[in-house]
């Protein structure tokens, strides 16, 4: 029987990259061990499609031994967290112990602009940069995957309310250009790497959408997808940050999102790559296509007479 491929974060919520990776690999006939944090309907759904489900914690040594033992190939991912670096090193140490032959690491694209002398205001970016350093030092056979901002993370999570209520996208991106990528495209790229990792060891892939444009352009894309006029309204970063905190978002996550706003305003997200097409043979999803697929989330609120 073939060694299973380990997929961590297999039940993740935002974009569900891990779950989609698991499903794609199972459809290819691969054995998959799906690591999840808790036993719930999402973990049962993974079992139902044929995955071996393991409940554990990326920070727990015993969990990682149970997850990695018997796996030659693994995908490491963790949501935005102040424990990200500790989790990465914990997973790497155990992977090294078990002689893992391919460690596919989910990073972030802004790491490409960082160095020992250059950083960003985001605490999460710093953790990703340090995690990449640690993985490189480890001697593990690593592939770093650096997606840009996710369509699900900003566009599907943070714009539907104002689009429904006032036909406006309200984000603190200024006039900065951005090339958001869909989680399904990231998942397809990662599944391709996991299915045949050896030609990619030591490489870095940057995953973006098909174009880099400002938010006024994307408002027009929303308009075409929804059949009504959507406009973009730039908002200041600080009041937006304060509102997220009032809504109960974790401080570490909010500080990361606020930094992304500042970086967008500074033009730091104006970048594109062909790596999605190179890895998958398909063009990445455009913003217009993404909004069409999620049209119900943006449906206009019918105001009472």
- Residues 152-176 have pLDDT tens digits of 988 999 999 999 999 999 999 999 9
Close Cβ partners of 300 (under 8 Å, ≥ 6 residues apart): 164, 167, 228
Q: Give domain 152-177+210-270+285-298's CATH number out of 3.40.50.10490, 3.40.50.300, 3.90.10.10, 3.90.25.10.
A: 3.90.25.10
Place of tokens 């951005």: 178
User: How far is 213 from 255, CA to CA, in rounded Å?
Assistant: 24
pLDDT in tens, the chain (305 residues): 689 999 999 987 656 899 999 999 999 999 999 999 998 888 899 999 999 999 999 999 999 999 999 999 999 999 888 999 999 999 999 999 999 999 999 999 999 999 999 999 888 999 999 999 999 999 999 999 999 999 998 899 999 999 999 999 999 999 999 999 999 999 999 999 999 999 999 999 999 999 999 999 999 999 999 999 999 999 999 999 999 999 999 999 999 999 999 999 999 999 999 999 999 999 999 999 999 999 999 998 766 55
Tokens of 182: 């869909």
Tokens of 243: 């509102």
Per-residue pLDDT, 153? 83
CATH code 3.40.50.720 region(s) in the chain: 5-150+181-207
Close Cβ partners of 27 (under 8 Å, ≥ 6 residues apart): none
Residues 10 and 51 sit within 8 Å (Cβ to Cβ): yes
Which of 74, 69, 72, 99 lies closest to 88 in space, CA to CA?
74
pTM for this predicted structure? 0.94
User: How far is 213 from 190, CA to CA, in rounded Å?
Assistant: 25
CATH code 3.90.25.10 region(s) in the chain: 152-177+210-270+285-298
Per-residue pLDDT, 79? 87
Dihedral sign for Cα atoms in the order 33, 36, 40, 45:
negative
Length of the chain: 305
CATH code given to domain 5-150+181-207: 3.40.50.720
């Amino acid at each position: 029987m073939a060694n299973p491929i380990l997929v961590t974060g297999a039940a993740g919520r935002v974009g569900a990259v891990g779950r989609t990776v698991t499903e794609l690999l199972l459809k290819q006939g691969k054995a998959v061990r799906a690591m999840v944090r808790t036993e719930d309907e999402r973990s049962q759904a993974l079992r139902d499609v044929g995955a071996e489900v393991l409940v554990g914690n990326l920070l727990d040594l015993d969990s990682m031994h149970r997850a990695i033992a018997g796996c030659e190939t693994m995908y490491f991912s963790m949501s935005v967290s102040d424990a990200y670096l500790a989790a990465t090193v914990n997973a790497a140490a155990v992977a090294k112990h078990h002689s893992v032959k391919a460690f596919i690491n989910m990073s972030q694209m802004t790491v490409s602009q960082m160095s020992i002398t250059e950083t960003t205001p985001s605490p999460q970016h710093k953790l990703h940069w340090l995690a990449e350093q640690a993985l490189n030092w480890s001697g593990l056979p690593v592939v770093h995957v650096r997606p840009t901002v996710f369509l699900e993370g900003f566009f599907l999570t943070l714009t539907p309310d104002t689009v429904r209520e006032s036909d406006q996208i309200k984000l603190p991106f200024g006039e900065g250009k951005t090339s958001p990528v869909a989680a399904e495209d990231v998942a397809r790229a990662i599944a391709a790497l996991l299915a045949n990792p050896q030609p990619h060891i030591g490489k870095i892939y940057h995953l973006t959408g098909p174009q880099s444009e400002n938010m006024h352009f994307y408002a027009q894309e929303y308009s075409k997808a929804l059949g009504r006029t959507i406009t973009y309204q730039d908002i200041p970063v600080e009041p937006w940050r304060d509102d997220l905190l009032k809504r109960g978002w974790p401080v570490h996550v909010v500080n990361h999102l606020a930094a992304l706003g500042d970086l967008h305003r500074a033009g730091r997200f104006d970048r594109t790559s062909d790596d999605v097409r190179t890895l998958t043979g398909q063009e990445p999803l455009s913003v217009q296509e993404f909004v069409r697929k999620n049209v119900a989330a943006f449906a206009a609120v019918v105001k009472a007479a």
